[in-house]
Structure 1
Amino acid sequence: MAIHYGRLLLSSLILFVVVLTVLFLLLEIAPGDPIQNFVGDVPISPAFEAQIVAAFGLDKPLWERYLVYLGNVFRGEFGYSFGTNEPVLELILNRAGNTLAIAVPAFVISTTLGIVLGAIAARTRKRWLDGGISAGAVALFSVPNFWLGMLLIIVFSIQLGWLPTQGKAPYGQDGIDIRYMVLPVITMASTELAFKTRIMRSSMIESLGQDFIDTARSKGLASQRVLWRHALPNALLPMVTVAGYSLGFILAGSVLVESVFGWPGMGLLFVDAIQRQDNQVVLGVAIFLTITILVANILTDITYGIVDPRLRAQFSRKVAAS
């Protein structure tokens, strides 16, 4: 097991370096002049421009800037924003809490409802309830997040006037108002809910076809007890992997969702930085999200190894053999 997790950490580290390298090179060849965006439309002297270039280290060769940036990232330094000259990591951490405020509820809701709806669909297989749940899951999975978000704004904010459209709280008020969270959370959870429902349905159908289910039924156990006490725990194993990986998709999807609802999180920071051509912030947010996704994947792999009795038994046999 130690060798397996060592290889997992090594592969994650290699993948992180590859992603960082690709992102760094893409931003280097992207069109635009970040220095001109930094000073605005005001003409500047060549001496002042040279001073700004030197301050941000842009006068160094590409390979040297890459090595310096790579070393800084491993020390937890993401550089400084071209627009505000603030530390990029500080800007990200100031927004990370807002993103998690809607990402975590979306993750919990999509996972919980996905398990319940998937189990119900499998239990009522080839009936009208299964057909309705499956059709709804396919429809939700096919709808882009940003389009669903705009549709929810039109219905619940503009036409009905029940919920606010933009921001996280009324103007001038600190903190987060829960009313402002409703529509972003629903939007973020929709696609993952549909995907998890389909996965859970397939896993539950496979579990219900196992021999131990026939044995439980032959003992006269009630169908509900067979479903929830015997079939469900076995069907949940694939959901551990799906749920872990879905956190990364939810965080990545926050870019569009936060833009639609004006939610001041990392996604909106990312979009604003792209518009300003603030490459340091763009690169910092992308790397921060990459690290978060890799950590979630590692924890998912570890959790699956703990909860899957087959992997535990295989490990026990290897230990006994050695």
Structure 2
Amino acid sequence: MKALVVHYGRLVLSSVLLFLAVITSLFFLLEIAPGDPIQSLVGDAPISEAFREQITAAYGLDRSMAERYFIYLGNVLTGNLGYSFGSNEAVLGLILSRIPNTLALAVPSFILSTIGAIILGSIAARTRKRWLDASISGASVALFSVPNFWLGLMLISVFSLWLGWLPTQGKGPYGQPGISWEYAILPIVTMATSELAFKARIMRSSMIESLGQDYMDTARSKGLSSSRQLWGHGLPNALLPMVTVAGYSLGFILAGSVLIERVFGWPGMGLLFVDAIERKNNMVVLGVVIFMTITIIVVNFLTDVVYGIVDPRLRARFTRPVRSTA
């Protein structure tokens, strides 16, 4: 038990240090980035020096960089992500209003890519060195190599512009609240494709290793059918590496939502992030990155916990009683 506490204590400490490193790095990178946030706020209209000084003081831009950093760090640690330039809305409120839209794409993409990868990877392993394995493996490599934004544009060209089956932009008809799922099909497929291809390759390798273990020889000696050998004995053991891969893939899906939401005009955190960068709205940029960083850190921590629960080797290592040397 003591080893378990030490392990998770180190994991929490490393997560906190990573969080602080991300905040610090991004804050100073945005500070030294070219561009004038005040001019981005007012657009091309000329502004007087008095108005510039008023805006500068209102947003604390007249303070030194180090002073702004420590003020911002203190605010973040107390849950205050600041206010957006221009609209003067709370950054946390802006993010919270976009989270449901991003999750509406990320969660189905995660489920679709994970389940699809388990099925395709298992089939590829079972038919190793045959045409079906070659087809699945080749398609996985090709789809993983294709940039998401390019795939999204191709899907729009085919299914929206050419066939006219699905809409191109937004989350629903103009002025209609909520999400219309015909608008979500293309972005979900786009987000899920590369993750499915990557996880299918991992699942294939894990299943091949599982099928070569001694317990599979025992299953064959019992006269079990090929399907029962694959799904009943091989799959449960092959899923262990997928726990880690699936957990990390959720972070990649969230990060990849930035480009996908831009391509499809989907009003989620990714589109909010890109718009904030274009307008040099540093508070919103920092807020979105902080939220995504916290999400990824929490997901990775939970993945480590779940892996320790489902893997009997880790459970045995952390729960093994300490023998007395006396």
**Given the two structures, how large is their TM-score scaled by the length of structure 1?**
0.98
Task: Kindly report which structure 2 residues correspond to 1:197-216, keeping only aligned pairs within 5 A, or say none.
Answer: 197-216=200-219
Q: Aligned to 1:184, which of 178, 184, 187?
A: 187
Q: Aligned to 1:277, which of 233, 258, 280?
A: 280
Task: Kindly report which structure 2 residues correspond to 1:130-149, keeping only aligned pairs within 5 A, or say none.
Answer: 130-149=133-152
Kept in 2: contact 1:83–1:276 (CA 8 A)? no
1:141 Cα deviation after fit? 0.2
Structure 1 residue identity aligned to 2:137: S
**Given the two structures, how large is their TM-score scaled by the length of structure 2?**
0.96
Structure 2 residue identity aligned to 1:159: W
Structure 1 residue identity aligned to 2:32: I
1:288 is paired with a residue whose SS is helix
Unaligned runs of 5+ in 2: none
Q: Aligned to 1:97, which of 96, 100, 108?
A: 100
* 1:35 alignment counterpart: 38
Structure 2 residue identity aligned to 1:295: V
Structure 2 residue identity aligned to 1:139: A
Structure 1 residue identity aligned to 2:151: L
* 2:165 alignment counterpart: 162
Q: Aligned to 1:7, which of 6, 10, 27?
A: 10
Q: For residues 50 and 293 of structure 1, what CA distance do their matches in structure 2 show?
A: 39
* 1:262 alignment counterpart: 265
1:36-84 deviation line (CA, Å, top 9, x unaligned): 1223333333232222111111111111111111111111111111131
Structure 1 residue identity aligned to 2:49: P
Q: For residues 318 and 269 of structure 1, what CA distance do their matches in structure 2 show?
A: 51
Task: Kindly report which structure 2 residues correspond to 1:216-231, keeping only aligned pairs within 5 A, or say none.
Answer: 216-231=219-234
Q: For residues 224 and 50 of structure 1, what CA distance do their matches in structure 2 show?
A: 73
Structure 2 residue identity aligned to 1:232: L
Change (3 A) 1:318 1:65: farther
1:239 is paired with a residue whose SS is helix
Kept in 2: contact 1:82–1:278 (CA 8 A)? yes
Q: For residues 18 and 321 of structure 1, what CA distance do their matches in structure 2 show?
A: 41
Q: For residues 140 and 13 of structure 1, what CA distance do their matches in structure 2 show?
A: 35
1:315 Cα deviation after fit? 2.1
Q: For residues 124 and 318 of structure 2, what CA distance do their matches in structure 1 show?
A: 35
* 2:246 alignment counterpart: 243
1:152-180 deviation line (CA, Å, top 9, x unaligned): 00100011111000000011111000100
1:211-256 deviation line (CA, Å, top 9, x unaligned): 1111121122222111111111000000000000000000000011
Structure 2 residue identity aligned to 1:193: L
Q: For residues 50 and 169 of structure 2, what CA distance do their matches in structure 1 show?
A: 43
Pairwise CA RMSD of aligned residues?
Answer: 1.2
Structure 2 residue identity aligned to 1:84: S
1:156 is paired with a residue whose SS is helix
4+ residue runs of structure 1 moved beyond 4 angstroms? 319-322
Q: Say how many residue pairs are matched.
A: 322
1:220 is paired with a residue whose SS is coil
Q: For residues 131 and 276 of structure 2, what CA distance do their matches in structure 1 show?
A: 48
Change (3 A) 1:313 1:262: same
Change (3 A) 1:239 1:87: same
Structure 1 residue identity aligned to 2:135: G
Structure 2 residue identity aligned to 1:82: F
* 1:59 alignment counterpart: 62
1:292-316 deviation line (CA, Å, top 9, x unaligned): 1111100100110011111111222
Q: Aligned to 2:124, which of 116, 121, 126?
A: 121
Q: For residues 288 and 247 of structure 1, what CA distance do their matches in structure 2 show?
A: 14
Structure 1 residue identity aligned to 2:117: G
Structure 2 residue identity aligned to 1:161: G
Change (3 A) 1:312 1:321: farther
Q: Aligned to 2:297, which of 286, 294, 300?
A: 294
Structure 2 residue identity aligned to 1:312: R
* 1:69 alignment counterpart: 72
1:3 Cα deviation after fit? 1.2
Q: For residues 181 and 321 of structure 2, what CA distance do their matches in structure 1 show?
A: 51
Change (3 A) 1:156 1:321: farther
* 1:25 alignment counterpart: 28
1:81 is paired with a residue whose SS is coil
Structure 1 residue identity aligned to 2:58: A
